[in-house]
Structure 1
């Protein structure tokens, strides 16, 4: 009886529970989600590209936040340490989601209870990605990477880029300007050009030309001509139908390859094909006629024949018929 009384003691029962398996009922849904989605957070440790810091990651964090917010409103901070200790990934999801959604109070609590802080994720980078300036200020003593400024540049968050440049030491990589140019954030590119020395690569010009960002193309060639020059830029602008960009690149000493005419034919850009064949010497390959025919562009097929552009007529006819463009043949 004495042993049973000890086991039933109010102070002993919780201690015994700590060494037993299972989880608390109020935490089941959160734990199940973390177990299912924990691997998604691995994106946070990788370099910034289009596939990282992306919609899938934001969706996973958002879903967790949707589950966690009502739990926290019911149980409060007093039960939070027990939740965080319930799973190795739980603390990561709680802290990452609080940073992403700008929950300053919860981030402050986490800063005061560093034993619950996930150390494998660059929290500064997450705050920069989410454009949470107030949270970013709280994380002054936490490490970050060049991803922070790179991803803020990619997403056009000039305020974040400025803060990172003024208050952090990690800097950025060429990806900052490259990605900002891709998404036409001219203010960010101008700031980085004035305040940073990393520069950019030809990817910046190629991406800007691909998307028809003429002002961006002009800026890049004015400030980074020797670095960004690439024949791929005019090829890309031609393929995607950006005649104003093609003309500017041509006027400023950029070159192209036969891909420029060939792929302009594929996509039906007659005006660009006329400009290139009239003003440039690269010409086209037999693919130009085949591509135009395969896509049903009779006007281009007619023009190419008038200009005596090299052609494999048999292949062109075959491609046109294969795709149902009998009017071309």
Structure 2
């Protein structure tokens, strides 16, 4: 008796009068919210196929009613796996998912497309004579991508070409099968103007090279060679990313071809010295001095030190000096994080080229002539005060900036000079404690006593201390002012205290003014 009750047919009749999800449908509850076509098609099939073998199609409506969101999953499964019989179960459904033609075309199921057309799915609505261009064009793209020529031929036979091929060339760029691409070009090419035809060939060639499809690359390059689209082939060579197919392109170009500078600019901007070497080897005339000089100027503009060295090796050193002098180092946002930037500066330095603009820009980056950004960077400040001992275990990006800072500090007189310029700014920063100032000041005094070049840099201990007191007073830094008066100034310079008092009085900082007046009284007493 129990066995009879659990047979699929009888169990289905019993369950339809009960609430909740039937036991055989429970696995679909999770699937309804997680399925993904076509990427998850195998997972869906592994669940559906055994269930369909047991229950057939009769329980599909019950499944859709019991599990929320299951109808779309069932219909997409049917289109993807060529189950017209399942589609027939739901042909009167009010809403069908919009990707059924795409799924069917991508798998080469012409019969499914015919059925969908029959029930009006491919029209804008069931009462309209107009076709749904989006569903047809995405179906064509899917068929072309997966090499289903029979689907494309069916679409061409059944629908106007301007509907299912409204994307044109861009849609063909994903075609991996040469036979399909050739057929598409045969029917579509004659509808284009000469300009459109050439532009689409160039786009298709670039896609073929980037996807490393050698047979397609060869076929397209031969067509473009025949129509003398040499500049387009060069642009593809310059813009593409892989190495093997792009090298193959040069076979279709004559050695006497004049290579436009914009092609060389693309190669330099992408920092592909290997491509430049191929161009200069193929087209010997590119080794002319004026081309090499222009190449070096472009390498400077794009901040590519490897290219700069490559061109410099080809040049007379007098020409190198002229180009480096005439073309200052360019700057872009975040350049201080690029390891090659320091190499470029060192290259300029080695060639005796002017670096005034570079130094001014680096000062702006590190901030000691403007908003003092360096004061907010613990690692940079630690190095300025403690030297290389502070650098163990720092991130590589910080090390890049530190190396750049080291170079700049060397050219600005050394750590003692830079710290001397920064200390007044530290003293006036509201977010810096007096202990930080004390530590930096102690390091700076130590550097001052051990540095022999201080006298040549217009910086003295007295001038720095005076600026520190003035900046701290103007910023209302009471703890810093108190420390300076007690441990640094110590009543030894009345003029310094009087200047700070003027700042406190003018800014109405009464507590600081009182503190400074008491310091003046101590000066007079001493």
TM-score normalised to structure 2 length: 0.44
Distance 1:186 1:63 in 2: 31
Post-superposition offset of 1:271: 4.1
Larger radius of gyration: 2
* Secondary structure class of the residue paired with 2:66: coil
Q: Is contact 2:107–2:146 with CA below 8 Å preserved after alignment?
A: no
Task: Give, in whole Å, the separation in 1 of the partners of 2:88 and 2:228.
Answer: 42
- SS of corresponding position for 2:164: coil
Distance of 2:259 and 2:61 partners within structure 1: 60
Match of 1:195 among 181, 187, 190: 187
Residues 1:290 and 1:274: Cα distance change in structure 2 (over 3 Å): farther
* CA distance in structure 2 between the partners assigned to 1:224 and 1:120 by the alignment: 47
Q: Which secondary structure state, in structure 2, belongs to the residue aligned with residue 131 of structure 1?
A: coil
Query: Is the 1:65–1:97 Cα contact (8 Å) retained in structure 2?
Result: yes
| Residues in 2 aligned to 1:72 and 1:174: alpha-carbon distance in whole angstroms | 39
Q: CA deviation at 1:28?
A: 1.2
Match of 2:312 in 1: 305
Contact kept in structure 1, 2:269 and 2:299, CA below 8 Å: no
Distance, in Å, in 2 between the alignment partners of 1:240 and 1:207 is: 14
Of 106, 109, 116 in structure 2, the residue corresponding to residue 139 of structure 1 is 116
Secondary structure of the corresponding residue to residue 173 of structure 1: coil
The 1:186–1:59 alpha-carbon spacing in structure 2 relative to 1, beyond 3 Å, is closer
Does structure 2 retain, via aligned residues, the 8 Å contact 1:261–1:283? Answer: no
3-state SS, counterpart of residue 33 of structure 1: helix
Aligned twin of 1:217:
221
1:231-242 matched pairs, under 5 angstroms = 232-237=235-240, 240=243, 242=246
Query: Is the Cα–Cα contact under 8 Å of residues 205 and 221 in structure 2 kept in the other structure?
Result: yes
Aligned residue in 2 for 1:94:
74
Residue in 1 that maps onto 2:46: 66
Q: Distance in 2 between matches of 1:264 and 1:277?
A: 20
Are the structure 2 counterparts of residues 316 and 193 from structure 1 closer, same or farther at C-alpha, using a change threshold of 3 Å? Answer: farther
Paired with 1:223 and 1:89, the residues of 2 have a C-alpha distance of 54
- Correspondent of 2:343 among 305, 310, 317: 317
1:126 is the counterpart of 2:129: no
Structure 1 residue ranges without an equivalent (≥5): 1-11, 41-56, 294-299, 324-329
When residues 114 and 60 of structure 1 are mapped into structure 2, their CA distance, relative to the original with a 3 A threshold, is same
**What TM-score does the superposition give when structure 1 sets the normalisation length?**
0.66
Higher mean C-alpha displacement, 91-100 vs 202-211: 202-211
Q: 2:156 aligns with which of 165, 168, 173?
A: 165
Identify the structure with bigger relative contact order (alpha carbons < 8 Å, sequence gap 6+): 1
Q: How many residues align?
A: 280
Tell me the CA shift for residue 238 of structure 1: 7.4
Is the 8 Å Cα contact of residues 156 and 180 (structure 1) preserved in structure 2?
no
CA distance in 2, matches of 1:304, 1:239: 23
Residues 1:100 and 1:133: Cα distance change in structure 2 (over 3 Å): same
Q: CA, structure 1 residues 225+94, in 2 after alignment: closer, same or farther (shift >3 Å)?
A: farther
Alpha-carbon displacement from aligned partner over 1:245-267 (angstroms, at most 9, x marks no partner): 14536778885433443267536
Q: 1:230 to 1:270 in 2, by over 3 A?
A: closer
In structure 2, the partner of 1:81 is 61
